Structure 1
Amino acid sequence: MFGFLGRRRDEREVIEIEPDGPVDCIADFTYNFYWQHRGEKLDPDERIPGTSHTFREVVEHLKDGGEVIVRGDAGHRLASSMGADLAYFGGGGGVMDAGVVTVEGDVDTRMGISMVSGTIYVKGEVRDPIGNIIEVRSDRRGYKKFMSVTDILMNGLRAEPVNVTLEPGRMVIDDGHVRDTLGARLDADVEIIHHGNVDLSTGILMRRGTVRIMGDAGKNTGALLSGGTVIIQGDCDDFSGIDMRDGYLMVDGDAGKFLGAQRRGGVILARRGKPVPPTSESDLTEDDRRVLMEAGLRPHLFRKFS
């Protein structure tokens, strides 16, 4: 099926597509980080294989509050950064409302990374790691429903979470999933506690709030951190604090190699780590010790990298 534009009973306009196999980056608001590859990996104006709709048409449709139905499986990075009003594409750099993505089959890894608004329904299975999303109780029979962690904490819950506890100012996640980009673009005085390991870019572009990981983290933890606090109660992979701008990154273990690469500001506190310029090791201040103690960590075990 090449493509179809119709209207559901709730009056939301719908695009239906049936791609040739599980195509990557459907509804990816970054077009697979277009500013890095300039079309070599993905041209926003090329048609999604097997359909009459382009990648750009799908994203613009979601920006207008529409629904995209994928008749079949979806590949990696489905709905990446959905709801991000990206400055590179003429946006204001904040968050916008987004529509609905529905998948009639399975979804491969990294669904909903850095997602900040909108809704995803999936009929089949979703492969870990997933993104900045949790499952909530579905209002469609036979489908799992997913929403952005950031959206829920900043705008309120509109459905019952699954294996997630919500308290005033706090979300506790203990659902067994591995996540990328948890807390992406969070800008509220709230706390996320995640039981179990995470993967890429925890806390990316956060401005306020706290993300605490009860486990290990992958690469790029605290990337582009612009405020708030990220706490890893385990080890990190490499490039922690890359391009960090403000806030605190605390690692109760090994923060990895290339620590603080291209860092512009903020403070990294870790038991171990191998920094690269402009980041270097320095002495803890009284404020650093206070912050560590408030986080339940033992200052005498930590080094400062700034």
Structure 2
Amino acid sequence: MLNIFGRKKDEDENFLEIVLDEAVDCLCDFTYNFYWQHQGEKMDPDEKIPGNDYSYREIVEKLKNGQNIKIIGDVGHRLCSSMGVDLQYFGGSGGEVEVGNIIVDGDVDTRMGISMVKGIIYVKGELKEPFGNLIELKSDKKGYQKYKSITDIMMHGLNGEKLIDSELIGNKLIIEPGHIRDTVGARLNRDAEIIHNGNVDLSTGILMRQGIVRVNGDAGKNTGALLNGGTVIINGDCDDFSAIDMINGALVVNGDAGKFMGAQRKNGVIFAKKGSPIPPTTKKKMDDVDNDNLLRWGLNPSHFKKFG
């Protein structure tokens, strides 16, 4: 018997197959949707995936064990959220873990791969934007688009892969305009720079520890959320809640940082042309170190206010 790739089934990779009659949200979601519960959505990790014998939790555990997953049918929102992360929320290290890969024979709805750090996703159908912390590679499977985590590439290199519409020069990744992404640079922990030409959406630089993410465009809500080191630079405006729950590092907004800036901030600094801070974040006086840092990032210190 031949499979979809034209090979005999017993010669194919080891895939666990899921067939969907309708689009399902949060498949292969390593967070088990805990973050989204705060927005009124609920999900039981041990509930069976509709029409299948496996639960949401079982699929994630199989991915952690290196199992590859093939999904036949259209997929809902937030496919592979935080895939490849040993989440501290569940008692893990917060670091990356090796995982299996995903193949989707169908369309995928928004937010695929938010905060994703490991694994590969192949998509045969349409991928709706915004999608997550992903970049497209030249595919090795005919008829499929291939996506990998931006953070994975910055941490471990291309390893012979070829980028589409982007360029990696040393430790600098230049992403050309054309797609809107969430969580760009999520969990980056290397002295490297990501330049995203064009607008982005949610949570740019979330949980970064090191490096620079520079967006030449506008950003959505929660920019720099949980930032824990490194620098996020937005050469445009942000939506509300910039630097929410910020732990460390620097957020620079070369425009309006929005309302509720720095809510629940623990540490770190915010530079913005304009913004409405909320306690504990207040306006501070700039010093020589601040001026030097802004100049080093190619920015004019006189254009910014400091908040901390």
Report if the CA contact (8 A) 1:84-1:94 is conserved: yes
Distance 1:17 1:147 in 2: 21
Match of 2:185 in 1: 183
Q: CA deviation at 1:40?
A: 6.2
Report if the CA contact (8 A) 1:8-1:14 is conserved: no
Greater Cα shift, 155-164 or 138-147: 155-164
Distance 2:41 2:194 in 1: 36
Distance 1:301 1:34 in 2: 35
Deviations 1:34-65 (A, max 9, x none): 6956x961100001111111101111111111
Match of 1:162 in 2: 164
Which of 223, 227, 235 is the aligned partner of 2:225?
A: 223
Deviations 1:81-107 (A, max 9, x none): 000101222321111111111100010
Report if the CA contact (8 A) 1:34-1:42 is conserved: no
Residues 140-289 of structure 1: matches in 2 within 5 Å? 140-158=141-159, 159-289=161-291
Match of 1:16 in 2: 17
Match of 1:110 in 2: 111
- Mark the runs of 5 or more structure 1 residues left unpaired by the alignment: 1-6
Distance 1:266 1:273 in 2: 16
- Mark the runs of 5 or more structure 2 residues left unpaired by the alignment: 1-7
Distance 1:266 1:153 in 2: 23
Structure 2 SS opposite 1:88: helix
Report if the CA contact (8 A) 1:35-1:88 is conserved: no
Structure 2 SS opposite 1:188: strand
Greater Cα shift, 50-59 or 210-219: 50-59
Which consecutive segments of 4 or more residues in structure 1 shift more than 4 A?
A: 7-12, 34-37
Q: CA deviation at 1:282?
A: 1.1
Distance 1:250 1:12 in 2: 45
Q: CA deviation at 1:9?
A: 5.4
Distance 2:90 2:301 in 1: 43
Report if the CA contact (8 A) 1:116-1:151 is conserved: yes
Please state if 1:134 is matched with 2:135.
yes
Match of 2:26 in 1: 25
Deviations 1:202-257 (A, max 9, x none): 00000000000000000000000000000000000000000001111000000000
Structure 1 SS opposite 2:294: helix
Greater Cα shift, 105-114 or 9-18: 9-18
Q: CA deviation at 1:175?
A: 4.4
Distance 1:266 1:89 in 2: 26
Match of 1:52 in 2: 53
Distance 1:288 1:247 in 2: 12
**RMSD (Å) for aligned C-alpha atoms:** 1.8
Please state if 1:299 is matched with 2:296.
no
Instruction: Give aligned-pair identity as a percent.
Output: 59
Distance 1:35 1:215 in 2: 26
Distance 1:40 1:212 in 2: 32
Distance 2:21 2:65 in 1: 26
Match of 2:82 in 1: 81
Q: 1:121 is aligned with what amino acid? A: Y
Q: 2:140 is aligned with what amino acid? A: D
Match of 1:3 in 2: none
Taking a change above 3 Å as real, the CA distance of residues 52 and 82 of structure 1, as seen in their structure-2 partners, is same
Q: 2:191 is aligned with what amino acid? A: D
Deviations 1:14-47 (A, max 9, x none): 211112311000000001126956x961100001
Structure 1 SS opposite 2:290: helix
TM-score (norm 1): 0.94
Deviations 1:132-157 (A, max 9, x none): 00000111011000000000110111
How many corresponding residue pairs?
300
Distance 2:280 2:191 in 1: 29
Distance 2:206 2:143 in 1: 33
